[in-house]
Structure 1
Amino acid sequence: MNVLLWHLHGSWTSAFVQGPHRYLLPTVPGRGPWGSGRPSACTWPAHAVDVQPERLADTDVDIVVLQRPEEIALADRWLRRTPGREVAAVYVEHDVPHEAAATSRHPMTDRDDMTLVHISPFNALMWDSGRTRTAVVEHGILDPGRRYTGELPAAATVVNEPMRHSRTAGTDLLPGLARGAPLDVFGRGTEGLGMRLGAATRIQGRGDLPQSRMHDELARRRVYLHPMRWSSLGLALIEAMQLGLPVVALATSGAAAAVPPEAGVSATDPERLADALRELVADPARARAHGAVARAHAVRRYGLPRFLRDWDAVLHQATADHRRRRPRDIRRRATHLRVVRPAVEPRR
């Protein structure tokens, strides 16, 4: 089928477009957040293609994969069909609620025309989606391969904009955790992080590296630290596990269920985490053994084949539901609006 989606989250989209469909990525002049298209520096398959918005109205689109509320109006204008009503649609929620946990109502709450797909069971648990049908498709990633050497007696972590997201990302915890092991922090906005946190001798900001190079650098560190207080489930954590790194993680949010006990240490006490970093850095053999368990678990649970199978089932179910619902929706538009756009037969 032809799937319209925006390139929003790099690693997630890289995995998603590995499926068997044709993926249409809106591309606007200058690119930008509403039309970044297919990235130039990537190895995506040929069936992930750029599409100009002005051509979408004449393009056969079977389903729209939405990831931001604003995309509904964009798709309606570009396709001249309303997602959910006149073309099948699903909405992917990548994040936990930004405000109150457990009581935040999702922007797609109480819709009867699309499925809300969460990327972790924790997401689905926290968001109030009312009567909207929900599903969970956990992350899947392209396996970077076991690259672990653990040659550097330090911990690695990946945090984008750590000062801006201090509490949610656990940035404020890093100086205390660095007492257990030197920390190398990768990601956007990490330059000079140690100086800003008053721990320049123990915390080094390593910047935002290209993915493959970052994977190599993570694999050289002895342990991966996941300090996130409030997060759906970071892809960097899964990538580190598939690389073969042992994990020391705050047992909060999605990470509590993603990291098995044999893969390292998971706890809510920062002192316990600092001790775990110290112990694993001092014991390379133990670190390597935990890392082997972490990799086996992550490949099994977050492997690409399972991810693509789950998504294929969601897409086929959504298009089948739309076909069954569509005649009723067209009659509803005729009754309430008195004007009906020309019907377009769905692909079979």
Structure 2
Amino acid sequence: MNILLWHVHGSWTTSFVQGPHRYLLPVLPDRGPDGIGRARTWEWPDRVVEVPAERLRDQDVDVVVLQRPHEYELVRDWLGRTPGVDVPSVFLEHNAPDGDVPLTPHPMRDRPNLPIVHVTHFNSLMWDCGSAPTTVVEHGIVDPGARWTGDIGRCAVVVNEPIRRGRHTGTDLLPDIADALPLDVFGMRVEKLAEHLGLALDRCRTYEDHPQDRMHDALARRAVYLHPMRWTSLGLSLLEAMHLGMPVVAVASTEAARAIPPGAGTVTASTAELREAVRHYAADRAAARAAGAAARDAALARYGLARFLSDWDAVLKEAVS
């Protein structure tokens, strides 16, 4: 099957392109957001093919996976076909709704020929998709292996743009956590986070532009993983930390409670309990090791790559039938 999609979410796409299909990614000369092409920091198979935008009309496209509303018009302009009408298509929604939740209308609502695929059951519950057909394909992760050592007594956090996104990503919760255990924050645009939070640099170190495998090694050396998100979809970095065998501590919001079963870590809406859980796992290696092992087992069972690819194959086959 020839699948057209844009490189929007690198971690998600890394899992998606592990399937048996041919994946066509538009590329533009400036490699901007609508034409990034292949990843530079993830390893993708050769069946992921860059196609210049002006040559898309020459391609045999079996199905389109849309991920942003404006891609609907890009398909019409670049491919010369209308999604869901002239070419089988689905819309993949990565995000939780924003705005007037739970009344937020999905931008692709009420389109019977354009199924909407959500990545979490929480997102599916909260978006108003009207009469559009919907389904859920939960995340799948390329297993990085059990790597946790916890030999660095700090708390790992992965978050992109924590200053701009603020309360959505729980950035304001970090100083309280840093009182229990110093933070190592990985992600994009994190370099001024300590200054923004008024934290000394030894209490909040930041790391940018870590290639995926190096970041996994770095995370696995930290004592505990913190997922402070108040209102996002389910961060793939949380699932990766669970695959690594890390004890995880998470804000009880959106999909976190479903992703982290009892025994695999701590999920709570209490800031005091978040702080105490981080301190507990850092101090008690046996408890941390047991929680990390349970987290890994849970992640492999629910967010394994084989199940993810099988679910997506079913969605795509239905779309082209």
Task: Give the structure 1 partner of residue 259 of structure 2.
Answer: 258
Could you tell me which residue of structure 2 aligns to residue 324 of structure 1? none
Tell me: CA distance 1:248–1:40, structure 2 relative to 1, closer, same or farther (3 Å): closer
The secondary structure found in structure 2 opposite 1:29 is coil
User: What is the alpha-carbon distance in structure 2 between the residues aligned to residue 81 and residue 33 of structure 1?
Assistant: 21
Kindly indicate whether the alpha-carbon contact (under 8 Å) linking 2:42 and 2:211 is maintained by their aligned counterparts in 1: no
Which residue is equivalent to 2:150?
Answer: 150
Q: Secondary structure of the residue that 2:250 maps to in structure 1?
A: strand
- Normalised to the residue count of structure 2, the TM-score between the two structures is 0.97
Paired residue secondary structure (2:307): helix
1:1-348 equivalences under 5 Å are 1-200=1-200, 201-320=202-321
Q: Distance in 2 between matches of 1:39 and 1:202?
A: 33
Deviations 1:80-127 (A, max 9, x none): 111111000000000011212211000011001111000000110110
Q: Is 2:89–2:319's contact at 8 Å kept on the other side of the alignment?
A: yes
Q: In 1, distance between residues paired with 2:243 and 2:87?
A: 37
Give the letter aligned to residue 216 of structure 2.
H
Q: CA deviation digits over 1:143-168, x for unaligned, max 9?
A: 11111000011110101111111100
Give the superposition deviation at 1:299.
Answer: 1.2
Q: Which residue of 2 aligns with 1:346?
A: none
Counterpart-to-counterpart distance in 1, 2:39 and 2:192: 29
Give the root-mean-square deviation of aligned CA atoms. Answer: 1.1
**1:121–1:58 distance in 2 versus 1, CA, 3 Å:** same
TM-score (norm 1): 0.90
Q: Is the 8 A contact 2:225 2:246 kept in 1?
A: yes
In structure 2, relative to structure 1, the CA distance for the partners of 1:202 and 1:68 (3 Å cut) is same
Deviation at 1:179, TM superposition (A): 1.7
Q: Distance in 2 between matches of 1:202 and 1:122?
A: 34
The Cα of 1:198 is off from its aligned counterpart by: 1.4
- The amino acid that maps onto 1:144 is P
Unaligned runs of 5+ in 2: none
Residue 191 of structure 2 aligns to a residue whose secondary structure is coil
Tell me the CA shift for residue 41 of structure 1: 4.6
Rg comparison, structure with higher value: 1
Distance 1:109 1:14 in 2: 27
Task: Give how far 1:40 is off.
Answer: 4.1
**Could you tell me the percent identity over the aligned residues?**
57
- Aligned equivalents of 1:18 and 1:59: distance in 2? 21
1:268 and 1:105 mapped to 2: Cα distance? Answer: 27
The equivalent of 1:338 in structure 2 is none
Q: What do the CA deviations read for 1:1-41 (whole angstroms, capped 9, x no partner)? A: 11000011001001111111111001111211111111245
